[in-house]
Amino acid sequence: MNLRNLLDAMALIGIPSVFACVVWMGKKLLQFGHDMRILMNAQQKQMRRTLMIDYHKYMDAGKITDEELDLWEEDYQAYHSLGENGIMDSRRADLLELSKKR
Query: pLDDT-derived band of residue 102, with 50, 70 and 90 as boundaries?
Result: low
Q: At what angle do helices 87-100 and 15-61 cross, to 10 degrees?
A: 40
Percent of the chain past pLDDT 90, that is, above it, reads 61
The pLDDT of residue 47: 94
Answer for the pair 74, 54: CB distance below 8 angstroms, yes or no: no
The number of angstroms, rounded, from the C-alpha of 27 to the middle of its chain's C-alpha atoms is 22
pTM value > 0.75: no
Structural domain boundaries, residue 73: 3-100
- Residue 30: pLDDT over 90: yes
Looking at the 3D structure of the chain, how many domains does it have? 1
Q: Tens digits of per-residue pLDDT, 49-91? A: 999 999 999 999 999 999 999 999 999 999 999 887 678 889 9
Taking the C-alpha atoms of residue 14 and residue 8, their distance in angstroms, rounded to an integer, is 10
The pLDDT of residue 2: 83
To 5 degrees, how large is the angle CA 95–CA 66–CA 100? 50
